[in-house]
Amino acid sequence: MNAIWVAGVYEQTHGWVPDDGGTMHSSYHGYYALDFSTTDLNYGTEDDFKEMVDAAHAKGIRIVMDIVMNHAGYNTYPDMAKYGFGKICSVDWDDYYYSVQKHQAFWGSGKCGNGDGYGNYIAYNENEGANINDWSTWWGFDWIRADIAGYYQNGGANESSGKTCIGSAGIESCVDFLPDFKTESTQAVSIPQFMQTKWTMEGRKDTEQAELDSFFQERNWTATPRNHLIKWLTDYVREFGVDGFRVDTVKHVNLSDWQALIDEASAAYEEWKDANPTKVPGPEDLPFWTTAEHWNHGAEKSDYFNYGFDSMINFSFQGNEANLAGLEDIYADYAGRINTDPGFNLLSYMSSHDKGISGNRGNKDAATGLMMLPGGVQIFYGDEVGRELLDVPNDAKSTHHWFRSSMPFGKDDVLLAHWQKLGKFRNRHVAVGGGAHEKLNDTPYTFSRIKGDDKVIVVFSVSGETTIDVSAIGLSAGDTVRDAYSGSTATVEGTSVTFNAEGVLLLEKAQ
């Protein structure tokens, strides 16, 4: 592996909220931010994160951090009680909150004081006894839009003035009812009241504010919500050397705002490299890198590439990975797009935290099909050992829990060794992911990949003694060829070479 994709390490909301399947849902995934300015202690301290990044860099491995600039996390009872925002309408909320069983959590009627259920202990709207003052001490009306008291169009005092969360797919929507940052706002804002309270409790309010003031002054930027978020997110690049971002919910933020984030992150990365020349991960000195999640984005080039993104996550490949006999059209298409347009790339996967664990996990052919794919490839943790789904009782609707079982280290060392051989070959040859693709034979399926002087031939679904013509990559009689899968070598006779194949041949010129 040459990069590790980690969850956003900034501090998350605390405690749980119920999901629609009747299960406690917590912010372990990194998408429910509370405070971007510090790390979440469930992950570790800032020193711990620095140590991890440095250790990866020492091995030539880059760190890609998941980030979200579209929304904050839900309000939770522990945060509301500790930082004094919102309105908890029952004094015995903690008796309910800390006694309910893990798989018996539910929303309830949502009417304050009307029996058990998460929503029955919080006053969200005027008809439940909430008012603007209760919720203004959260993120504040200039920072977010939300369908709760006070967060209405034009700062209106009641629901009749119109909700600020519009639709489900646009810039002004609240994805899954999460509070939506007003990243499009050009208005200067103050630090949210709950965060001022939090920073004061932690003894760092003046320091954090001074850093923000200096950041905005140096860039001549207005202190908008977007610019605050850019400062906090790029600090992980500037301070720790994060090498790239995987951007979440990209379609819910204006393209120009993503360009501003990427520009600042790129500048921060160069600043970090200048300050840490011995820690820059090799073998090449590469620029800051970005990819993004736009739901159901395929292998096409969209406008996101014109606003700073290096690649987009490809939702269209999953499910094709194990069909080795049917991959030619996909391989040729992806390689053709990449080689026709050097500004285009894609990031494909077989499993993900959003779209599920592939039914082909544990299948060697699936590993082969993915790892020989043109463009970038992502391995979701556990694919390489056949990780099983998590059994979550009463959770048929909220399947995301099923995807996130613990990593079963050592579950299948044979499968792991297969992934490792493919990964080392791919990592050693830029032609695999970025080269021109040419089919050489149908049976067995054989193709070449060529990028400059880097030339390889790959053969699928072969076993036993197999003879392959290697003239397509410029090899001739007397040259020594290595099969990177078995580790064996052979000499070219005429234009062909013969190996005792072990399922797949990964042919390269022996050095």
68 contacts 249 by C-beta, under 8 angstroms: yes
> Among 35, 248, 383, 483, which one carries the catalytic annotation?
248
pLDDT digits (tens, 9 = 90+) for 470-506: 999 999 999 999 999 999 999 999 999 999 999 999 9
> Which pLDDT belongs to residue 148?
87
Q: What is the DSSP string of 290-327?
A: EEE--TT--SS--GGGGGT-S-EE-TTSTT-TT-GGG-
> Which pLDDT belongs to residue 159?
47
User: Residue 87 to residues 72, 105, 121: CA-CA distances in angstroms?
Assistant: 19, 20, 9
Share of the chain above pLDDT 90, in %: 77
With bands split at pLDDT 50, 70 and 90, how would you rate the model's confidence at 162? Answer: low
> What are the helix and strand counts (H, E) for the chain?
12, 19
> Which pLDDT belongs to residue 158?
45
With bands split at pLDDT 50, 70 and 90, how would you rate the model's confidence at 511? Answer: confident
Query: Which residues face 99 on adjacent strands?
Result: none
pLDDT digits (tens, 9 = 90+) for 406-451: 999 999 999 999 999 999 999 999 999 999 999 999 999 999 999 9
**Per-residue pLDDT averaged across 134-142, rounded?**
94
Is 274 a residue of the active site? no
The better pLDDT of the pair 169, 189 is held by 189
**Per-residue pLDDT averaged across 230-236, rounded?**
98
> Which pLDDT belongs to residue 90?
81
Is 51 a residue of the active site? no
Q: Which domains does the chain have, with CATH numbers?
A: 3-70+203-430 (3.20.20.80), 435-509 (2.60.40.1180)
> Which pLDDT belongs to residue 153?
58
472 contacts 441 by C-beta, under 8 angstroms: no
Query: Which residues face 88 on adjacent strands?
Result: 122
For residue 11, what are its two tokens? Answer: 């501090």
pTM for the whole structure? 0.95
pLDDT digits (tens, 9 = 90+) for 85-131: 999 988 788 888 999 887 778 888 767 777 778 888 899 888 788 88
> Among 293, 365, 483, 508, which one carries the catalytic annotation?
293
**Residue 99: CB partners within 8 Å, gap ≥ 6?**
none
> CA geometry: angle at 82 spanning 78 and 88, to 5°?
65
Q: Average pLDDT of the chain?
A: 93
**Per-residue pLDDT averaged across 378-395, rounded?**
86
